Each structure stands twice: as structure tokens, then as C-alpha cells.
Amino acid sequence: MKPVFYRAMETTGLRLASFPGFAGISSPGIVILAYHDIGVLPEPVPRRYIYNVSEQNFREQMMILRKMDIPVIPLREAVLRLHGELPLDRRYAVLTFDDGFHLLMKSAVPVLQELEFPATFFVATGFLDKEIFPWLADDFLPSGEVIPQWQPFTKEDIKSIAGNPQFEIGSHSHLHVQFEEGKFDKYLQDVKLSIDVLQAGFGINVESFAYPYSFPGQRKRAGSEFGHLENGFRHFGLQAICTTQMGLNRAAHPAHRLKRMQVKSYDSPALFRARLAGNLGIPEFIQRLSHKLF
Ligand SMILES: [Zn+2]
């Protein structure tokens, strides 16, 4: 049982933070939610892995969107609204899933189909049909085990998603690359390879990209190199680029530096509502503290 102090903070602090008036959910803007894997991880769950969301929580979060009457729109439409080609008159949500977990086919995809919610899947194409995402195994499973929950999409999964007009497949690079200073050309080559794999192998016209790991534009020293990177993406025909910067996208926000809200394992309904508001900091701090994640 959690100590009284934590429980008190969670109930009062989070309720206040997610109160619609305080949270400002009614103001115009687009919240792009970033998910990873949805489903049950084996016990004990690797403690530092905070990106897994249970099926029950995911369904509950989707129902919150529906109950709060926040339209879920495709990423493509979000770009049009940010650019003023369609009105940006209220709060909208976009759903994105990073990496490309096979597990999603049985967990998230049926819920999205049932609710007719569009979504974008950012796929690291170098791992299709593989047994496990190697960076997850290396970072979280030191004993060398393989857990089926971290199996990447199969090629059949990609065909199935690509065949559904409700869904979009975007690039998450080929090998889930980390940007290294001085090596933007290597980074661009890897992204281009993923676009080519999706185009040549599956006939997918890739319009969007999400940076693996952190967004290199946040680094002070990225400077002019980062400009080269963004020019390269434009050259590849990418229309929407998602970063790991948190926040809400308001009118005229550039489509090549979209902010997102990462949904985490410990999100309570109140914290989820605070994410929809683009209102973090205090609510997330309280939730992490109450789960003793620091
Ligand atoms: Zn990733």
C-alpha cells in the first residue's frame, strides 16, 4: 500500500491539474500522443522501462478521448490544420506508436478499429520479422532472455496495417539510430533506407518520420548540422516530423518539429487528461513520486 502522503498528493494534486478549467483542454491545439507497446510485460517488468501501457489503460484512455469529445484525427490532417488549410478551432488528438511492436496487432489495433480512431505507426524497418528489438534487450534484459512482448512487426503486420486506410506507416529510421554529432549524412542514409524499404517492399509512400531516442535539435551543439538534417528530410518528401519535445502544437507550429506527449506505464486517468491539456511538469512529478520512480 502506498503511504498516505503519496496517495493524498495523487488524489488532490492530480485532480486539480486535470480539472478542465485549470488544464485548458478547451483551447485550440493539437496533442500528439506517443505510445510504444500496449500489452502485458512479464513479471518482474524491467523497472526502468516506463513505456509499456496495459491494454486496460489503453482502452480507458481511448474512452477518455471519446467522452471528452476530442476528435482523433490523422497526422496528415493535423498538418493541414496547423498550416491553416483547415480550421484549428478546438483541441484535437493524434495517436502515434513508435518502434513497431507485433503485440499491437492484438492489443491496440482492434481497439482503434472498433472506435474508428486513425493512427500512425513509426516503424524501425531494420527489425521486421526479427525476434526482439535489440536495443531493448541490451538495455533492459541483461540476462540475454528474449520476451515475446518485444517482438517487432512482421512483414505481414506491415501489409495488414498498410492495407487499412485508417492507418499510416511512417519511418522511425531503419536501425533505430541515435544521432551522432558530425555524422548527419550517416543518419540521413539510415532514414532514407527505411523509406526505401517501405516503398519498394510494401508500396508505401512515406510522409512522416519520428526521431528515435531524443530529438537532436534540442542539443545546443547540433547547430548547422541540424539544418542539414531537416533539409535532407524535406528532400525525402517528409511532410510531418515528430520529435520527443513535449507540449501542445498550436496554430502555425512547424510540421517538421512537432511536439508530442509520451504516454507512460504509470499514467492514471488524471495524468492522461493532463497530457491532453499539454499540461505537464507538476502532474507528472506527482505521479512519478507516487510510484516511486525517481
Ligand atoms: Zn523508438
The domain spanning residue 96 has which CATH number?
3.20.20.370
Ligand 1 center to 222 CA (angstroms): 20
pLDDT at residue 278, rounded to an integer = 76
Q: What is the DSSP letter of 70?
A: -
* Sign of the alpha-carbon dihedral angle for 61, 30, 263, 130: positive
Query: How many domains are contained in the chain?
Result: 1
User: 224-230 long-range contacts, Cβ below 8 Å, gap at least 24?
Assistant: 225/181, 225/182, 225/184, 226/184, 228/184, 228/185, 228/188, 229/179, 229/184, 229/187, 229/188, 230/256
Ligand 1 center to 15 CA (angstroms): 31
Residues 279-289 have a mean pLDDT of: 62
| pLDDT value at 92 more than 70 | yes
- Which of 65-79, 114-128, 181-195, 217-231 has the least mean pLDDT? 217-231
Ligand 1 center to 98 CA (angstroms): 5
pLDDT at residue 166, rounded to an integer = 97
Ligand 1 center to 99 CA (angstroms): 5
Question: Residue 75 sits in which domain range?
Answer: 4-290
247: Cβ contacts below 8 Å, ≥ 6 apart: 259, 261, 278
Cα-Cα-Cα-Cα dihedral of 160, 161, 163, 167, to 10°?
160
Ligand 1 center to 176 CA (angstroms): 6
Q: What is the mean pLDDT of the chain?
A: 87
268: Cβ contacts below 8 Å, ≥ 6 apart: 10, 14, 287
Ligand 1 center to 52 CA (angstroms): 13
| pLDDT value at 198 more than 50 | yes
Ligand 1 center to 132 CA (angstroms): 13
More confident residue, 171 or 226: 171
Ligand 1 center to 44 CA (angstroms): 22
User: By percentage, how much of the chain surpasses pLDDT 70?
Assistant: 84
d(CA 144, CA 125): 23
